[in-house]
Structures are given as C-alpha cells and as structure tokens.
Structure 1
C-alpha cells in the first residue's frame, strides 16, 4: 500500500486518512485523485508529487493611479480577494488589492492572461468597487462567486477586514448581484487580519478561516498565528458569531513546516483557504517563514511566505503529505516575486487541460521610497496539469494498483494518464477479486497517449451499465506511464459530476456537467501557447 509522507503534528492535520472501510465506496462524486490511499487496496506503483510551472513574469502589475499609490507602495495583486470564472458572461473575474491598504478593485479577462480594468461608477474613472472612506484601510479580503445562490442579489459574496484609525478593526460582509455594486449586510464576529471564508460544497456550509494568535504547543515562549473556524449553511448567518460558535482545535504550522535555512525563524500558518475540487477539498496553506515585521520594516524587504497544499475528505481533517512550497517566494531582491506570496480566493480554475493558480507576490520595490516591505505587489500565475497533484507511476518493468470495493452509477470508465512512452491497461474484478468476463486486462485496448480525459475500452464493450450498483474492484496495469485520476462517467463525453473549484471555460456550473467532450485542439493550443514562453520549472 502506498504511504503518505505526513505526520501527526497538529490536532486536525493528519498523517493519513482512516483506512477505507471493507464496505464498497461510492465514486460518483467526481474524479478520484491519488493524494491518499482512500481507494487503494494494493499497489506496487510509486506515488510522485508534482509542482506547478510558474509563469516567468506577472500577468497584472500596478499601472493606474489607484494601484500606483503615489509611487509609495504600488499594489495590483490578490491579497486573498478572489478570482473566478463566470459562465454567465464568459469572463475571468478578479477582485484584488489596489494600492497598499487602499482599494478593492475589479478586472476581467477573456483568457485569464490579459486583463481589462473597467471604469466603474463607484469612484468615477477608477475600477474601485467599494467607495473610499476616511479612516478606513483595507486589509485581508475575500470575494466568492456563488453559482448556486437562490437569491440573485447574493450571487457574489464579499468580506473585507478594515483597519480603522483610532478605532477597533472591523470585518464587513457584503453581497452583490453583479460583483461591482455591493450592499453592506452586516459586521462579522471577532477576527484578525488575513481571515477569509470559503464554501464547502460537500457539507453545504460556509466556512470562515479565522486568524487568531495563541501560545504555540511547539514554543511556549511567544504567540503565533493560528486558525480556528466558524461554519453555517447560511452565508449571512455564518458571518455572525460569538466565541461559543467557534470550532477548534486551532490549526497551526507544525514541525514538518521547516524554517527557511537562511532565515532560521520558526514557521507560522499565515493564511488558509480551500475550495471543492472534484472529489476532495483542496486547501491552500500559506506558511510564514519570517523575518518578523520589525526586521522586514528595518531592512525594507517583504516577508517570506510560501503556499503549500492540503487535502481533506471531510472538510475538517487535512492531509499535507508534500511540504515543499507549491508556490514559493523567490527570496531574491530585485525579482517580482521576492516574497509575501498570497493565494487568490477560489484557489484554482480549470482552463483546458490545466489548473490555474493565481497569486499575489511582492517585490519590495518602491518608486518613491526605493524599497519597502509592502511595495511592489503584482499578480502571478502557476499552472499544473489537471488533477496533477500526485501520480501513480511505473517504469519499464511495469506495476499495478487495485482499488478497494467501489460502487458507481455511471457507464464509462475514464482516466487522466500519460502513457505516451508506454501503456495503461485495466481490468475489472468482482467484489471477491475474480476478473469479470469481458473486462480482463488482455481484452483491454491499451491506452498509449497523454490525455486528461481518456475513455477505457475493452474489445467487447466500453459500457459498464451491467455493473451499475454492484461492488467491484478496478485494477490498473501501468508500464512506463503515469496515472493521475480515474472516474466513471454517465456519458461518453466524460463529465465527472465532481466540483470544479473556481470554474473555467466550458464549465457552466459548480460541477462538471458539461456536455463538451473536452477542450478542442485550438483551445488547448491557445492557452498552452500563451503560457509556453517564459516558464520556470
């Protein structure tokens, strides 16, 4: 069995999810990823973790007067905020931090690469979406596109943490029909800066990731940043809480979140958000590696933060097996992504055969001040193969993996696999492990291509209708190939019915129910061509 390289270091960060129960497990809820052993009964394959490609330069930089901040602390970057694809008008929509602690601005794009800043009527001549108020300075913020909202006036949901000069800070909650004109609905309960919210589509609850400080179990000498949560099925109700509504225990960085070897400071959990992706919750954990604020202010340099990923099957316990930075600060002066990396709300989008992860990054370069810890914020993009967090692989000698007993109501088996240099074959067994007639590996038409949506066929049929509702096991034989995911679709188009994170072109709702068989060659060429040049590996 494949083991996950995690450790039990915090009360709700786990080393491995509980072993699958002997009963059959339904796989109707989307693509089945290999981030854990949830569906694996036996395997001789090797699990490998993958990192994204980072586009060499930013896709959005400070240009307008609002963003340039008088030359002091220019910023045009998500500071959480939000980036979603809206199928209603076919646009990528970005809400972002414009000018340090100044505005919340809006931009749109037809391709996720090139952005337009519309002139709005909130502050004529700018793309600001909330009017500026004296004595209020924006800090952390989240915007969420709720495609399943029953009230059109609440299709967009928004939170912003305001620092107020001479008064306590406050969290404000807004809703909107168009994402541009916002209605203040209420104040939040007590929370700290860099708090945020997200939606758990599996449990149908809004989750507030609340930043607080506490004494660390790892280090009782000082206070550290931690996360607690608040949950409720109703968004507006979720935003109001007392201490009795807060769910714990607190989540924090642990002993596997290693200090930066050059800086040496203990790590802290700076931010945490999540999104429903296919059959799991995908979490973005922002790890702070120092220096402390006073050192950064003295040295006029940004803090070093790195995005790492986590995975959950219940929305409460998180597996974080690969602690390498998924999106890392460069740590080099003069680079656009020197430090202070922040994820965008929504976590990722599906664009053709790639996942797009947008993030804010700070250079520390100030036209007016020379250098400053909060200057030079811009927007970056990282891309990963769809479902490409982890793969099960084998070399020339070949190896196999057999699932636990599973149930499905679909008709066609699909895989996300790269078998260009080898092949992948599949057989289906009954619940006791006997190969089913017509579905043996030697009757399977080998897959010898690279694709994120490939149908598995046998010589007699590709229709699994006779197996609907019956406990079966699937065995994958892999030779010089990588297997990223599998699922059983109701249609030959290969839709998974899983959740699609922050959406993407061709996806018309919160789940993969598109009747498209996949991206056309021209679509794939368009996006990969735009990203191919200037990629760091």
Structure 2
C-alpha cells in the first residue's frame, strides 16, 4: 500500500488471483494462458526453427443441409454459415442465416416497406436455429415463432428485420446479467439496401431482445464474427477500404469496438488487409484481385485469438469467383496477421460444396463464429457457398445452394515449430509474462517432447538459477496434447508475481521429428 497526495492506493501484485499478465500487450488472463507456436508475439525469438502448419481434416459429408424436401421452407435453398456455434452442457447449438425461394408474404407492413428494394428471387433470412448432441448430426427444432408462407412450423427466429444476411452468436460467460448471456450481431439492411448491423441479447438463445436502432447508424459493414476479448466487444467484418492517396482497396477486414455491447465507437480500425497489387490490371475497378471476404472469423483463447478469413478470388465474371481460407492470429483483437503470408490453410477444393451434376459452379468458403475446442479436438465449422452465375442460360434458381461443413484438428494444433531440415537442435524465447502469485504449471502440446527442456529467465533474458541449466524443466512424456513439465529443484510458486520469459530448447532424440504446438500456463489459484 502506498500514499499519494493524501489518497490511499492499494497496489496489488500483477500476478494475484490466478492472473497471468502480458506486459507487452496489456492482456490479462485468468486461469490459463496459451503460447501458440504460430503466435510470433508470444514466441518471437527462434533459432533453427520454422513453422509446420497443420492440414485440417474435413468431415466427408456436410453437417447441415438446406430443407430441399420443402419448397416453402425458410432454408429451402441454403443454410449459410455466416453463423455461430456454441457448445454448452453437452449440446451443440447453431445459428445460421437461411435462403428461401421467393419473398415471405407474411411480413409486417413495416418490414415490407423496409425490404421493397429487394427484388431478387432469393430471400435472405431471417435467423434459423439448429442443435445437435454430437456436432455432426443436427436437428432443426420447431420453434413456432415466425409466420413464414402461412406456417409457423419452422426453426426460424422472429426478428424485427425481414431480410438478414448474417448472424453471429456468442455465449458471454462473463456477463453478470443472465438476460444478456447470449449476444447476437445480425447483418441487416438500411432503406435502399446498405448492409449494417443490429445487436440482440437473450437469456436462452431462443427468445431475443433486439436493439431498436442499428448499432452503427448508417455505416456499412458485413460482419464475420463477434468476440469478447480483454473486456471489450469486437465485431470483425468487411468494408470497402480506402488506402494511400485515396486508392480504393476493395473488400477489407475492419473491426468495430464496444465496451458494453450497446454503444459502439464510431471509429473503425483496420484488422487485416491483403497487399494492394501494383498491377493496374488488378485494381478494384477492374475486379481481378484477391480480397478478404466478410472479415475474420475469430475465436479468443485467453491471451490470443485465432481466426480464419476467406481469400476472395475476385473476377470480372462473378460466377468465376471462388474462396479459400487463410489463417491468422491476433494479440489485441484488432490487428490480425498470418503466420505464413499468403498460405491457403483450407482450399475450396479441400472442402468443396455439393455439386450440381453437369455444372462447374465454384465453391466459396465462409467463416463465422465457428471455432471451438471440445475435448481433445478443435472444431472449425464453416460454410460452403455454391457460387451460381445466373447470367448463364442453364442456371436454375435451385442451383443456388449453401451448406455447413466441419473441419477438425487435434486441440490447438494449428501449426508447430519444428527444426529446420537437417538440423538437430534449436531454441526459442517467449515474450515476458507476469506469473500468478499462487504459482502455475507449464504444459506442452508437443510431439517429441522428450527432446525438449524449458528454462526460466527474467524479462531481460538472465537465467534464473533454480529453473535453468541442470535445473531446467523436462517433459514428463514423449508426446501428447498435455505433457507436463517437471522441475528438479523448485516450484514455479517461488516466482509468483515476477515477470519472466521461457526458453525452450528443442533437440531431435530419435526418429520422431520434434514439434511444439503450444505451451500452456495454468494457474493454480484459479
């Protein structure tokens, strides 16, 4: 405790109450922090080590399909995963936006007036809900809310907007008001057709209280995800950016920020933008270029966020556009970066949409709030959009199609740090971290962990004697998602409240190539 100008100020150690603090970013986590191998802010210094990104496994069949057996269904044409998945209480819950054939005649006069600009055969929205016990086999419960083409027997939510292009949902476990436990961001349309967002909150994820006004006034955005990170709310979405000297950049990822989910700052921030091609033939005016489609679909994991974005291969002919996934990380929720620049983490060929016999419609992959850890697996729910060019004479309305797919990796194994080819040993340093007062355990997600040892140094890289050299920590097993590190002389509780760095030595000791995917710091005081 100190006294300043007659005011009593209580100075709490940064490491109290199970908190792990990252001074370089200002991030504080409770319970567990994760140093991902692909996060070059957490593991910035490396010798003889390079990335080995993981190729995800794609489930052979889509996990959610349109209701093609019912032409009057809300999702007759498509189930678009501009959506979100939550896993709670042993149940998977999904919110997605449907596409039907033809306007819903049962909308209110106010909704009709607001949607008169929409003349296409495809009707977007409203919001649909599905649930599953295993995340593979999904049901569409009859919610009885929305009157759609004369029937309320459907899985649609009754929302204030008739046209909704995207819906993203999180379960906010830190929200003290249980009536606001679930939070939703919807892509709605202003009069005349400009997309923007409306927010909603719910106690159960089924009955929603939508905000009366759109969140950003008249600002354009098509969102890809919502997340809470470092006690702020973020919406990550697509806008049309303007670059150096006013040059148009096309689709680009930007974020909007809120402290309470009700009031959003008017200033956006650039989140992730692909390089502006110098070739004049690839300017946005000509259409042929790669862009970032609908923002980053991100998920927070304590001190880091992992996201995927659609690499939109733009073309003058819309029907030739396809979309692959890129992989990005962030340490502040605003700026994302690729571990390997330009890497296509999942291609449209890897996760191709159900085809139309005799047609060659491209696949556009779509991201949302679809990344979640369940047990020993990381699941990446995503959308597959069949891009139909209706200018083709042989194109039918029913050719339009969207489905939900699933890709998986072993938990948190987005990519590894491994030895250069031909090298036998290497090493890496972490960023500085302030350890919790109650101590913490260090656990490796690694293969070939028996060739790894962990040292602890102060923030200026000076080794701490009881945790370095012959007193370094050693892995308790050769391989695994959770390999404990054992210390021969001490306990990390001795370092509670101190700011330290970790140094990991990697050595090949047998036939297995050592691969480090993540380092976990688990507080004992949580």
Q: Normalised by the size of structure 2, how large is the TM-score? A: 0.73
Q: 1:197 to 1:176 in 2, by over 3 A?
A: same
Query: Highest Rg: 1 or 2?
Result: 2
- Structure 1 match to 2:84: 82
Distance 1:213 1:91 in 2: 38
By how many angstroms is 1:106 displaced?
0.5
Aligned to 2:99: 99
Q: Secondary structure at the match of 1:466?
A: helix
Deviation at 1:388, TM superposition (A): 1.9
Quote the RMSD (CA, aligned, Å). Answer: 4.0
Distance 1:343 1:482 in 2: 28
Pairing partner for 1:33 from 33, 36, 56: 36
Instruction: Tell me what 2:334 maps to.
Output: 316
Instruction: Please show how residues 199-348 of structure 1 align to structure 2 within 5 Å.
Output: 199-202=227-230, 204-215=231-242, 217=244, 220=247, 224-238=250-264, 245-248=266-269, 252-255=273-276, 265-273=288-296, 274-292=298-316, 295-296=317-318, 301=319, 303-322=321-340, 323-330=342-349, 335=355, 338-345=362-369, 347-348=370-371
- The alpha carbon displacement at 1:396 in A equals 7.0
Contact kept, 8 Å, 1:425 with 1:441, in 2: the verdict is no
Shift of the alpha carbon at 1:115?
1.1
2:98·2:125 contact (CA, 8 Å) conserved in 1?
yes
Residue 339 of structure 1: CA displacement?
A: 1.4
Q: Which deviations, in whole Å up to 9, do the C-alpha atoms of 1:341-379 show, x marking residues without a partner?
A: 11122x41002222111111023589xx85569712111
**For 1:327, what is the secondary structure of its paired residue?**
coil
Number of matched residues?
Answer: 449
Residue number among 50, 55, 60 corresponding to 1:51 in the alignment = 55
Between stretches 441-450 and 34-43, larger displacement belongs to 441-450
Q: Name 1:389's counterpart in structure 2.
A: 414
Partner of 1:504: none
CA–CA distance in structure 2, aligned partners of residues 215 and 378 of structure 1: 33
Q: 1:327 to 1:63 in 2, by over 3 A?
A: same
Secondary structure at the aligned position of 1:111 is classed as coil
1:489–1:205 distance in 2 versus 1, CA, 3 Å: closer
Deviation per CA, 1:285-338: give whole Å up to 9, x if none.
32211234xx33xxxx47312222222222333222322222322297864994
Task: Indicate how the Cα distance of structure 1 residues 73 and 118 shifts in structure 2: closer, same or farther if over 3 A, else same.
Answer: closer
1:455 aligns with 2:481: no
Which ranges in structure 2 are unaligned for 5 or more consecutive residues? Answer: 1-21, 101-123, 147-151
Q: What does residue range 66-145 of structure 1 map to in structure 2 within 5 Å?
A: 74-79=77-82, 81-86=83-88, 89-100=89-100, 101-123=124-146, 124-130=152-158, 136-145=162-171
CA contact (8 A) 1:427 1:441 kept: no
Classify the secondary structure of the residue corresponding to 2:165: strand
Q: 1:129 to 1:46 in 2, by over 3 A?
A: same
Alpha-carbon distance in structure 1 between the residues aligned to 2:516 and 2:383: 31
Once the two structures are overlaid, the 10-residue window that deviates more, 372-381 or 22-31, is 22-31
Residues 1:65 and 1:236: Cα distance change in structure 2 (over 3 Å): farther
Partner SS state of residue 187, structure 1: coil
Output the CA distance in 2 between the equivalents of 1:253 and 1:69.
41
Asked if residue 475 in structure 1 is aligned to residue 508 in structure 2, the reply is no
Query: 1:440, 1:27 → 2: CA distance?
Result: 29
* Structure 1 length-normalised TM: 0.72
Equivalent residue for 1:148, pick from 155, 171, 174? 174
Cα distance change, pair 33–180 in 1 and its aligned pair in 2 (3 A): same
Query: C-alpha displacement at 1:234, in angstroms?
Result: 1.2
